[in-house]
Amino acid sequence: MMDAFDRFGLLINDRVVKTPVAIASMAGIVDAAYLLERADSIGLGFMGGYSIDGPTMEAAKAVTADGDRKEFLPDDPVAELKAQMALMGTSDVIPGINLRGSSPESFSSIAKALGDSVVYEIDAHCRQPAMVAAGCGEFYLKNPDKLAAAVRALKAGGVTVSVKIRAGVSEDDRKLAEQLWRAGADILHIDLMDYGTAKIRQIRNSCPLVLIANNSINTFERMRDMLSHGADMVSLARQSNERTLSGLDAAITRYADEEGWYNSPKQLCRGGDIRSLTFCCMPVKECPLIPTLTRIGLPREDYIQMKLDGVTETPLDTGKQTCFGSLAWCCKTSSPCMFRDMTLKQSGISRKEYMRLKRDLSDTIMGRIFHDVPSDKRG
């Protein structure tokens, strides 16, 4: 039996994520009790949203005034959040709190009060007019510098930061993702609306953050679609019932145990994201590889060296009879190839292990592509 880190390789807030299924916040509904009732099937859960300062607490009251929407309306958000975090106790679900705040100071003071045992999620998603007028929710998507300032305020407190966004609202989701990464965010939680896989791929290609795909991801087919285009996790809100959550958890666990890489990308020429460079061969023919390298500004020689360095002293550093002399250049197991499979057999590498090694190579490639952001460019 594999442990969760071997299976999914996911760490959030220095804790192993036991399954890439999360619960997304629903104001007035998702609290610690809600997460604990579903704890067997989720790895991460966002309580809230909670309004944490004067303007947003007033907005929350206004939102509930017509009686259609629920909100958590504690008089003392810090005391309430402490109580909710205490209820999570020793649960193996990583807790997150979705917060509506209207200034960097609101975020930094809540982080100071609550400490680093929880993931702080900035709500840049809510489109209720009162919230937007208070300077949070979607307001941040139209004012990305203010959102980046909120991220920096939280990061100054040494905590893990997620940003919940709605796709298609900011001027350019790719630029926003890059800006939030440079500001220090750890996680981007994306309500994809109707944009689907093309959007998650764009964002994957713009930043190395942990990506959580959200919106109607209620079937395994949809989940795998998101994972194979760049998502690390998926989250559910409206359909976060035990039956759906446990079905997704069981299916992705089985898939990971059989295939070796739970969120393996499609090959680049089949619409894969940047991680799929792990499956690409030498840049010698007319195919999407060369334009991709040009787009990301990676010289061919650097790409070649990066892949060769990435497999040095690993089991992939073999394969004289393959097209380019090393498994570094070999395709995904879903593409049939007797030369690759013969090499794997001779080297005693199972197909599942091969995919896990390709995942490691992809991590190395991602690290190299997005490494060393110059400090003068941060935020």
Ligand X SMILES: Cc1cc2nc3c(=O)[nH]c(=O)nc-3n(C[C@H](O)[C@H](O)[C@H](O)COP(=O)(O)O)c2cc1C
Q: Report how many residues bind ligand SF4 under the rule CB under 6 A.
A: 17
Work out which of 10, 24, 159, 176 binds ligand X, going by CB under 6 A: 24
Shortest distance (Å) from residue 69 CB to ligand X: 7
Q: Tell me the CB-side half-sphere exposure of residue 280, using CA atoms within 13 A.
A: 30
> Which H or E run contains 6?
helix 4-8
Spatial separation of the C-alpha atoms in residues 183 and 174, rounded to whole Å:
14
d(CA 148, CA 124): 11
Query: Three-state SS for 81?
Result: helix
- Candidate segments 18-26, 109-117, 167-175, 283-291, binder of ligand X by CB under 6 A: 18-26
What is the per-residue binding string for ligand X in 179-198, x denoting contact by CB under 6 A? ------------x-------
| Interaction pattern, residues 242-281, with ligand SF4; x per rule: CB under 6 A | -------------------------xxx---------xxx
Which residues lie across from 190 on neighbouring strands?
A: 165, 213
The DSSP secondary structure of 229-247, one letter per residue, reads TT-SEEEESTT--HHHHHH
In Å, how far are 84, 155, 235, 377 from 149, measured between CA atoms?
A: 27, 10, 26, 14
Task: Please state the length of the chain.
Answer: 379
Smallest gap from Cβ 47 to ligand X, in A, equals: 10
63-102 binders of ligand X (CB under 6 A): 98
Taking the least distance from each CB to ligand SF4, the nearer of 146 and 300 is 300
The yes or no reply on residue 78 touching ligand SF4 (CB under 6 A) is no
Using CB under 6 A as the binding rule, the residues of this chain from 217 to 276 that contact ligand X are 236-239
Cα–Cα distance between 277 and 71 in angstroms, integer? 45
310-369 binders of ligand SF4 (CB under 6 A): 322-323, 329-331, 337, 339-340
165 residue type, one letter: I
Question: From the list ligand X, ligand SF4, none, which binds 238 (C-beta under 5 to 8 Å, kind-based)?
Answer: ligand X
CB of 109 to ligand X, least distance (A): 20
33 binds, among ligand X, ligand SF4, none (CB under 5 to 8 A by kind): none
215 belongs to the binding site for ligand X (CB under 6 A): yes
Using CB under 6 A as the binding rule, the residues of this chain from 338 to 377 that contact ligand X are none
Radius of gyration of the chain (CA): 22
Q: Residue 170 phi/psi, 5° resolution?
A: -70, 165
For position 227 contacting ligand SF4 by CB under 6 A, the verdict is: no
Contacts of 352 (CB under 8 A, 6+ apart): 258, 259, 260
State the first-to-last Cα distance of the chain, in angstroms, to the nearest integer. 43
Min separation Cβ 361 and ligand SF4, Å: 14
Closest to ligand X by CB, 41 or 267: 41
Cβ neighbours of residue 65 closer than 8 Å, sequence gap 6 or more: none
Q: Which of 155, 164, 204, 307: binder of ligand X (CB under 6 A)?
A: 164
The residues binding ligand X (CB under 6 A) are 24-27, 29, 48-49, 98, 123, 125-126, 164, 191, 214-216, 236-239
